Amino acid sequence: MAVKVRFAPSPTGYLHIGNARTALINWLFAKRAGGGFLLRLDDTDVERSTAAYAEGIRDDLAWLGLTWDDEKSQIARLSRYAEVGEALAASGRLYACYETPEELEYKRRRQRAKGLPPIYDREGLSLAAADRARLEAEGRRPHWRFRLEHQETAWNDLVRGPQSYHGAHLSDPVVRRADGSWLYMLPSVIDDADFAITHVLRGEDHVTNTAVQIQMFQALGAAVPVFGHVPLITGPGGEGMSKREGAQAVRDFRAEGVEPAPMLAMLASLGTAEAPDPEADLAALVDRFDIHHFGRSQPQFDPAELTAVNARHLHALPFSAAKARLAEIGLGDAGQDFWLAVRANLVRFADAHIWWKVIREPLVPLIEDAEVAAAAARALPPEPWDETTWAALADAVKAATGKKGRALFHPLRLALTGRENGPELKVLLPMIGRERALARLSGRTA
Ligand code: GLU
């Protein structure tokens, strides 16, 4: 049987980091098994779902390189859900309930007062046809619950190992509201069955749903997929991600200059014993992927670590991979020598602009030591220059002024680049060129 997984975000917001991780785990799992990856938009909440968020999710997935073989939208499948709902009602697995939210709350309060768990008492199940007719005549519209079998539901979770829940310890879930709209639980199962999903990999906030959903698959006579629930990520202090301040969405990190590869490497390693590999591409992540590498403890996601992994990624990025990105940010003329000279100084890719300007655009030189600058101006050899030019120049200035170490190098760097730090001058100087270097050492904007 061919492996098929799905990633099922609700387009009620942009792709956040936790969801991106779920998408990645599913995608790697599918690719590793040579299987398919479905993007399913859980858009039945018409109040909160928007086409713009759906487009944003697609855009972020594409940016990450997580391509999908097929896309489905739940809102397009309402008639299918109604059809299955009717069949389940006819076979007695869905039943009508008429309590108002206030009545349900009152029941739960009484149960709690008696020290009982707030499990639905199945009043709807015991209503006779005449009771229902009377309630409907009062103007009440039913909502629908799924009748759980009061038996043990067990599965072997790919991450958590053997799991089991007894149906008697769970409330029959509401699957359809009085206004006819569907809650998440049953449509998800109908989709997974109809689209032949073989593996459901998601966050552990869905573990109890799984016991219910397995019973739904069985009620539909459908094959039950294999389930795996990964622990949810937390912020750096162990706080829930929703409590975190600051960037949460993939696009926030994009805007801050994070590249897709380090984000993927970080997300793939979270919750495993592996350190993120800043040089890994998607193919490497597929090769290394094993769902059994994910542990049971909640991994912490630290944005500062992502920034660091991003920088390490840039520092090792070969020119062949940087070339197109340089062109994207308007540095299409930059060659391999430039890239290799500056990459170790980048925190964000766009910082390459800083060094491009240093070699190609006029800047105001900082003359900290006029004697050193003047000596360097006099000692500049004729071009062509190469990586040996800098050492020869520094030696000549040292001989002329008697200065060495920081007293020699700091004023030269400030005069030539206008900055305290940066790439090695032996690689920068030939790119700056004689004319510009001479002007800057002479204190002129060039
Ligand atoms: N839309 C659901 C969610 O984002 C999907 C859950 C699932 O994967 O079944 O939580």
Average pLDDT for residues 38-58, to the nearest whole number?
97
E strand or H helix at 6, and its extent? strand 4-7
- The rounded Å distance from CA 102 to ligand 1 centre is 28
Domain assignment present for residue 267? The answer is yes
**Residue 202 has which token pair?**
């998601």
Q: Which residue has the tokens 């760097």?
A: 413
pLDDT of residue 247: 66
- The rounded Å distance from CA 278 to ligand 1 centre is 29
Q: Which of 159, 176, 193 is the last residue of a domain?
A: 176
Same domain assignment for residues 302 and 326: no
Q: What CATH number is associated with residue 133?
A: 3.90.800.10
Partners of 40 in beta bridges: 72
Nearest CA to ligand 1 atom 5: 8
Asked if residue 184 has pLDDT above 80, the reply is yes
**3-class SS letters over 164-222:** EEEHHHCCCCEEECCCCCECCHHHHHHHHHHCCCCEEEEEHHHHHHHHHHHHHHHHHCC
Which residues have C-beta atoms less than 6 Å from ligand 1? 8-10, 42, 184, 188, 202, 206
Same domain assignment for residues 152 and 195: no
Domain assignment present for residue 121? The answer is yes
Asked if residue 243 has pLDDT above 90, the reply is no
Same domain assignment for residues 188 and 64: yes
pTM of the model: 0.93
Nearest CA to ligand 1 atom 4: 9
Asked if residue 189 has pLDDT above 90, the reply is yes
Nearest CA to ligand 1 atom 7: 8
**For residue 169, what are the CA distances in angstroms to 109, 113, 149?**
17, 18, 11
- The rounded Å distance from CA 103 to ligand 1 centre is 29
pLDDT of residue 1: 75
| Best residue for ligand 1 mutational test, from 21, 48, 188 (most atoms within 8 Å of Cβ) | 188
* Shortest-distance atom of ligand 1 to CA 209: 9
Same domain assignment for residues 310 and 197: yes
| Best residue for ligand 1 mutational test, from 19, 186, 206, 208 (most atoms within 8 Å of Cβ) | 206
Same domain assignment for residues 104 and 220: no
Asked if residue 245 has pLDDT above 80, the reply is no
- The rounded Å distance from CA 318 to ligand 1 centre is 38
Q: What CATH number is associated with residue 312?
A: 3.40.50.620
Separation between Cα atoms, residue 343 and residue 95, nearest integer Å: 64
**For residue 175, what are the CA distances in angstroms to 84, 96, 182, 187, 274?**
12, 10, 6, 9, 40
- The rounded Å distance from CA 8 to ligand 1 centre is 5
Separation between Cα atoms, residue 297 and residue 299, nearest integer Å: 6
Q: How many domains does the chain have?
A: 4
Domain assignment present for residue 363? The answer is no
Same domain assignment for residues 9 and 46: yes
Host domain of residue 135: 79-176
Per-residue pLDDT of 250-296, as tens digits, reads 999 999 999 999 999 999 999 999 999 999 999 999 999 999 999 99
Separation between Cα atoms, residue 38 and residue 2, nearest integer Å: 13
Domain assignment present for residue 446? The answer is no
- In degrees and rounded to multiples of 5, residue 169 shows phi and psi of -95, 5
Average pLDDT for residues 219-244, to the nearest whole number?
92
Domain assignment present for residue 356? The answer is no
CB 122 within 8 A of CB 172: yes
Q: Which of 149, 176, 203 is the last residue of a domain?
A: 176
Radius of gyration of the chain (CA): 31
Domain assignment present for residue 360? The answer is no
pLDDT of residue 330: 96
* Banded pLDDT at 240 (limits 50, 70, 90): confident
* Shortest-distance atom of ligand 1 to CA 7: 8
pLDDT of residue 426: 96
**For residue 38, what are the CA distances in angstroms to 18, 30, 197, 295?**
18, 10, 9, 25
Same domain assignment for residues 67 and 195: yes
Q: What CATH number is associated with residue 402?
A: 1.10.10.350
Asked if residue 241 has pLDDT above 90, the reply is no
Same domain assignment for residues 137 and 218: no
Q: Which residue has the tokens 């805007």?
A: 255
pLDDT of residue 296: 95
Domain assignment present for residue 281? The answer is yes
**Residue 359 has which token pair?**
């070699």
Per-residue pLDDT of 347-392, as tens digits, reads 999 999 999 999 999 999 999 999 999 999 999 999 999 999 999 9
Same domain assignment for residues 262 and 190: yes
Mean pLDDT of the chain: 96
Domain assignment present for residue 134? The answer is yes
Same domain assignment for residues 416 and 399: yes
For residue 384, whether the previous peptide bond is cis, meaning omega lies within 30 degrees of 0, is: yes
pLDDT of residue 288: 97
Same domain assignment for residues 392 and 344: no
pLDDT of residue 61: 98
- The rounded Å distance from CA 204 to ligand 1 centre is 11
Nearest CA to ligand 1 atom 10: 9
Share of the chain above pLDDT 70, in %: 100
Determine the angle formed by the axes of helices 389-401 and 406-417, rounding to 10 degrees.
120
Same domain assignment for residues 396 and 297: no
